[in-house]
Amino acid sequence: MSILFSYRHLYYFWVVGKEGGMSRAADRLGMAVQTVSTQVRELEQALGCHLLKPVGRGLALTDAGLAAMRQADQIFQLGEALPEVVRDAVEAPRVRLAVGISDGIPKLAVRHLLEPVMQEPQLRLLCHDGEFADLLGELALHKLDMVISDRVAPSSPGLRFYSHPAGVSPIAWYATPALAKRLRTAVRRTGDFADGLARSGLPVLLPTGHGVLRARLDQWFERHACHPQVAGEFEDSALLKTFGASGMGVFPAATLVEDDLTDRYGVERVGECDGVEEHFFAITPQKKVEHRLVRRITG
């Protein structure tokens, strides 16, 4: 392929078009007006058409000039990106992992679930938080490598998702030291945690029915004939923990994150939520996991 003009000619024309005149372009380039004018004229001769026309005391683009300017914009945008592209090529290749995080999943638990890949050299981790159904749509379009959720993917005509067990954690009850002291006193009197929780009159914070954990907690209350005072319901697990740490009420959390929970929020474990567990799944668009980091998580 033969090119009849140099990119220097195109660049001078591009600057003239941006500045709207030869003099302003020459000032920007630090060159003589005659030199810039000659370069632009050579480009016009090579292309066989006028790119600029006089308007008042300045210059405007002809129709051909507008078309040339659009192409020049793309060319020089690519040129500006060239150094970064070259640097990326000579650096160690990065490993990209795009993960969808279903809303309501404890964020501290997500960090634990992703622990097997956190020391991967040159890891580029992209986390997207959102509605479960929306994340599955992104997964189907291969915008995500996997979705972490507390439930398996539903059956869907025309779409196949595979739910790989990624972890399970018992649930326990936590409270601030002040509430914990009151609750333990009530439990000693009754000899049973659930009964002590109900008789203590202490408020309880719960996740909303948006997540599957709430149904399991409601079953636990029913099994123990416990009817607590529910002071708050939270869709976001971090908000639930934040309000629990403020002393608003006793709250449930996965023991998987207990160390982080007690260190960060200053709360204590006050009792077991026997028989209640939170399950986590890594959902992929194929049964045989191809991404090596996803395989490491699904084990």
Lowest model confidence (mean pLDDT) among 28-32, 64-68, 248-252, 288-292: 288-292
Q: What is the pLDDT of residues 111-149, one digit of tens each?
A: 999 999 998 888 889 999 999 989 998 998 888 999 999
CA distance 40 to 112: 61
- One fold for 95-167+282-298 and 168-278: yes
pLDDT at 5 exceeding the cut of 70: no
Average pLDDT, the chain: 89
Compute the average pLDDT of residues 218-231. Answer: 93
pLDDT at 3 exceeding the cut of 50: yes
Q: Are 92 and 27 in contact (CB under 8 A)?
A: no
Helix, strand, coil abundance in the chain, percent, nearest 5:
50, 25, 25
Q: Are 128 and 99 in contact (CB under 8 A)?
A: yes
According to CATH, the superfamily of the domain at 168-278 is Periplasmic binding protein-like II (3.40.190.10)
Q: Please state which of the four CATH numbers 3.30.70.20, 3.40.718.10, 1.10.10.10, 3.20.20.70 is assigned to the domain occupying 7-90.
A: 1.10.10.10
Lowest model confidence (mean pLDDT) among 86-95, 171-180, 215-224: 86-95
Q: What percentage of the chain has pLDDT greater than the value 90? A: 52
pLDDT at 63 exceeding the cut of 90: yes
Q: Rounding to the nearest 10 degrees, give the CA dihedral for residues 179, 180, 182, 186.
A: 130
Compute the average pLDDT of residues 42-57. Answer: 89
Q: What's the predicted TM-score (pTM) here?
A: 0.65
CA torsion sign, 25 to 30 to 35 to 38?
negative
What pLDDT score was predicted for residue 276?
Answer: 96
CA distance 200 to 195: 8
Backbone angles phi, psi at 36, to 5 degrees: -65, -45
pLDDT at 154 exceeding the cut of 90: no
What pLDDT score was predicted for residue 91?
Answer: 64
Q: What is the pLDDT of residues 203-217, one digit of tens each?
A: 999 999 887 899 999
Q: Please state which of the four CATH numbers 3.40.190.10, 3.40.50.11890, 3.40.50.1220, 3.40.50.2000 is assigned to the domain occupying 95-167+282-298.
A: 3.40.190.10
pLDDT at 82 exceeding the cut of 90: no
Max Cα distance, the chain (Å): 99
pLDDT at 2 exceeding the cut of 60: no
Lowest model confidence (mean pLDDT) among 31-45, 80-94, 278-292: 80-94
